[in-house]
């Protein structure tokens, strides 16, 4: 069996998705997600110019060797563009292997460790009341865990709280440059504990709660926030601080027992090695797409397991259903699976482009048994939705200073 052709599609059924299709000379094909939000076309160029020519004629069943060739064989290793490109190819190769074997990918990884995958939803709001009303709605839908994000009074457009009202992505159709948002650590720190205080008063402790800081705090500020939130027993505090310097997490860890999650911007195990070995975090959020595919994610999960770190893959809507399916297979298998972020199955438009094997059942994701990843990509539908340039927002302090993402 040989790789005959690799196609790259960019489509925008609501958001931009980069989809890879690896086609073999025997007709079997595989699909992968190579979407890098806001940098989509850089990955397309990397795939078309630097990866695809090297793949033609190779045996698609040699997943490990192809991964090593694309990662270790390249002088310019790592980075989000490179790893998303490799991730898209790797997923497609696992999809092919599953189709050849007639088995779902989780069976190839080692089989089921559980029947279904626990998820957390998102409750966002412009006020505490709105956020908590949305929490109530998710609990009614069966969610056992929910992330709470609320706009900070006095700070316009806090990231992650605009929800369906005015999505930051939609805001950009007539604003082709990155939107700008304000940040004030003191306003935030003085407000967030109240959100969780009221959440616990209203809904008790049965529901698991999560909060995403989006890397806006320094380690000592994050340590302080972790302490302030301890009474509310979070499942985890996400991206409390950037981890470009992994040592920073030791400062947070030394001061608080609030569990910590990080990793949605990580690309290789090296971004997390010290965090894992020093047991400075509890959940690792690296995505299959951005971490180079299923091959490295399996190894990272096994490595993290030795240090009591559980997997909680990034599940934002800017990852395509192919990545969500890859996560479902990994999550069903991983002995140290923790929880999956889940924001719903998307719009009709999205579902006309991708069919997937996932369903939501009372707080859990179920995965239908299909060979490979179980996703279909409808090329004609996809062609209707052209790529649209988009940016993630930029953050500034109130005096104009550019701040951490």
Shortest reach from residue 99's CB to Mg ion, in Å: 33
Part of the chain binding Mg ion (CB under 5 A), chosen from 45-53, 205-213, 246-254, 321-329: 205-213
In whole angstroms, what separates CA 291 from the centre of its chain?
10
Determine the Cα angle at 395 with ends 391 and 398, to 5°: 145
**Strand 358-361 relative to strand 354-355: parallel, antiparallel, unpaired?**
unpaired
The count of residues interacting with Mg ion (CB under 5 A) is 1
CA dihedral over 395, 86, 277, 303, signed as positive or negative? positive
- Candidates 26-34, 128-136, 296-304, 312-320: pick the segment binding ligand GCO (CB under 6 A): 312-320
Asked if 40 interacts with Mg ion (CB under 5 A), we say no
Q: Which does 277 bind (CB under 5 to 8 A by kind): ligand GCO, Mg ion, none?
A: none
Binding flag, residue 282, ligand GCO (CB under 6 A): no
Residue 354: closest CA among 17, 7, 3 = 17
* The two structure tokens encoding residue 312: 């909680």
Q: How far is CA 179 from the centre of its chain?
A: 22
Strand partners, 30: 22
Assign 3-class secondary structure to 284-306: ECCCCCCCCCHHHHHHHHHHHHC
Among 37, 246, 340, 390, binds ligand GCO (CB under 6 A): 37
Backbone dihedral region for residue 78 (phi beyond 0: left; psi -120 to 50: alpha; all else: beta): left
Q: Pick from ligand GCO, Mg ion, none: which does 37 bind, CB < 5 to 8 A by kind?
A: ligand GCO
Contact mark string toward Mg ion, 81..100, x via CB under 5 A: --------------------
212 contributes a contact to ligand GCO by CB under 6 A: yes
Name the packing angle between helices 63-71 and 80-101 (round to 10°): 170
Q: In the complex with ligand GCO, which residue's Cβ is closer, 212 or 282? A: 212
Nearest partner of 235 among 126, 365, 144, 140, judged by Cα: 144
User: What is the Cα–Cα distance from 130 to 136, expressed in whole angstroms?
Assistant: 10
Q: Strand (E) positions, 151-274?
A: 180-183, 208-212, 236-238, 260-262
> Could you give the CA distance from residue 378 to residue 321 in angstroms, rounded to a whole number?
12
Give the whole-angstrom CA distance, residue 30 versus residue 226.
43
188 an active-site residue?
A: no
Of the residues 29, 159, 232, 283, only one is catalytic, namely 159
- Measured from the CB atom, is 169 or 354 closer to ligand GCO? 169
Q: Is 283 a catalytic residue?
A: no
Our finding on whether 316 is near ligand GCO (CB under 6 A) is yes
The partner in contact with residue 251, picked from ligand GCO, Mg ion, none with C-beta cut-offs of 5 to 8 angstroms by kind, is none
Of the pair 103, 343, the CB lying nearest ligand GCO is at 343
Nearer to ligand GCO, 122 or 370 (CB): 122
Residue 95's binding partner among Mg ion, ligand GCO, none (Cβ under 5 to 8 angstroms by kind) is none
Q: Which residues, numbered 326-345, are part of the site for ligand GCO (CB under 6 A)? A: 341
- The DSSP letter of residue 309 is P
Site for Mg ion in 208-247 (CB under 5 A): 212
Q: How far is the CB of 364 from ligand GCO (least distance, A)?
A: 19
- Neighbour count for residue 79 (Cβ, 10 Å): 13
Taking CB under 6 A as the rule, does residue 33 contact ligand GCO? no
Q: Interface with ligand GCO by CB under 6 A: which residues?
A: 37, 160, 212, 214, 264, 314, 316, 318, 341, 392
Q: Interface with Mg ion by CB under 5 A: which residues?
A: 212
Which residues form the catalytic set?
159, 214
């Amino acid at each position: 069996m040989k790789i005959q052709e690799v196609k790259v599609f960019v489509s925008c059924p609501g958001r931009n998705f980069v989809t890879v299709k690896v086609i073999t000379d025997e007709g079997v094909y595989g699909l992968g997600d190579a979407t890098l939000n806001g940098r989509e076309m850089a990955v397309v160029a990397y795939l078309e110019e630097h990866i695809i020519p090297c793949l033609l004629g190779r045996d698609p069943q040699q997943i490990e060797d192809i991964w090593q060739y694309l990662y270790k064989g390249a002088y310019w290793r790592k980075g989000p563009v490179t790893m998303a490109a490799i991730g898209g190819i790797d997923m497609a190769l696992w999809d092919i292997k599953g189709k050849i074997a007639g088995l779902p990918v989780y069976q190839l990884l080692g089989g089921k460790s559980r029947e279904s995958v626990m998820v957390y939803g998102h409750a966002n709001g412009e006020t505490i009341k709105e956020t908590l009303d949305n929490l109530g709605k998710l609990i009614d839908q069966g969610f056992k865990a929910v992330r709470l994000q609320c706009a900070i009074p006095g700070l316009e457009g806090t990231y992650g709280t605009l929800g369906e009202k005015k999505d930051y992505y939609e805001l950009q159709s007539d604003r082709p440059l990155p939107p700008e948002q304000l940040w004030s650590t003191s306003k935030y720190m003085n407000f967030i504990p109240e959100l969780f205080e009221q959440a616990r008063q209203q809904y008790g402790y049965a529901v698991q709660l999560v909060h995403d800081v989006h890397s806006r705090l320094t380690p000592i500020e994050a340590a302080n926030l972790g302490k302030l939130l301890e009474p509310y027993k979070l499942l985890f505090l996400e991206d409390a601080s950037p981890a470009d310097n992994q040592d920073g997490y030791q400062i947070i860890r030394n001061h608080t027992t609030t569990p910590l999650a990080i990793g949605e911007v990580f690309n290789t195990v090296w971004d997390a090695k010290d965090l894992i070995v020093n047991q400075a975090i509890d959940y690792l959020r690296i995505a299959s797409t951005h971490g180079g595919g299923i091959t490295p994610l399996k190894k990272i999960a096994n490595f993290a397991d030795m240090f009591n770190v559980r997997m909680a893959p990034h599940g934002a809507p800017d990852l395509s259903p192919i990545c969500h399916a890859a996560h479902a297979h990994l999550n069903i298998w991983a002995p140290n699976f923790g929880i999956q972020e889940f924001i719903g199955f998307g719009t009709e438009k999205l579902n006309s482009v991708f069919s997937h094997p996932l369903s939501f059942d009372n707080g859990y994701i179920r995965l239908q048994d299909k060979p490979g990843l179980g996703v279909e990509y409808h090329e004609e539908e996809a062609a209707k939705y052209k790529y649209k340039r988009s940016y993630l927002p930029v953050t500034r302090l109130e005096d104009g200073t550019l701040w951490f993402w």
